[in-house]
Copies of this chain bind each other. A is one copy, B any other.
Amino acid sequence: MTQWLNEQEHRAWRALLQMTAQLDARINRDLQEHGGLSKADYDVLVPLSEAPGGRLRQYEIGQALSWEQSRLSHHLARMQKRGLVEREECGTDRRGAFLLLTEAGRCAIDRAAPSHVTSVRELVFEGLTEQQVQTLADVSSQVLARLAATDGRPRRPRRTAPHEESA
């Protein structure tokens, strides 16, 4: 028999889900309006702009963002077409590829960052106590640890077609 969430946990869970969904939507909209970037674009550009020479191996970005390879590959192809990044062959490991920040990409992230950070500060952190911020960090780290601990858990093989099962 299932142990359900208690009243307090249920409220907290609903509020957290609502908050993250609406916050994500707002952040995406703000970034789009202020610089023509999606949150995903921004997430790619940040580590790239912080890397020496604006150059990173693709898999490093993938790991940093917890993205699948395929998602990363498709997304970078779109960003490349828009001129935000470039790809370059890797000399030491010829399977791999470097990702390069272009001038336009540097421009875009520099222009988007200030209003993004301001928005996050005003929406999220401005009203919080240090205690609350610390709890946010602690709880998130705890949950991340549990996710990691149960990651390679027994995955039953999928017996149905992708994106549509009925039983």
Contacts and interface: CB of A to CB of B under 8 A. Distances in A.
A22 B140 CA distance: 11
A53 interface: no
A82 to B, nearest CB: 6
Interface string A7-37: 0110111011011111101100000110010
B132 A135 contact: yes
Contact of A22 (B18, B66, B114, B158): B66
Size category of the binding interface on chain A: 35 or more
B12 A118 contact: no
A90 interface: no
Contacts of A118: 2-3
Given A20-B20, A147-B26, A137 B12 contact: yes
Contact of A156 (B33, B117, B131): B33
Nearest to A144: B19
Interface in A117-150: 117-118, 120-125, 127-128, 130-144, 146-147, 150
Q: Which 7 residue pairs across A and B have the least CB separation, nearest first?
A: A36-B165, A15-B140, A12-B137, A2-B114, A19-B140, A135-B135, A12-B136
Interface of A: 2-5, 8-9, 11-13, 15-16, 18-23, 25-26, 32-33, 36, 66, 82-83, 104, 113-114, 117-118, 120-125, 127-128, 130-144, 146-147, 150, 155-156, 158, 160, 164-167
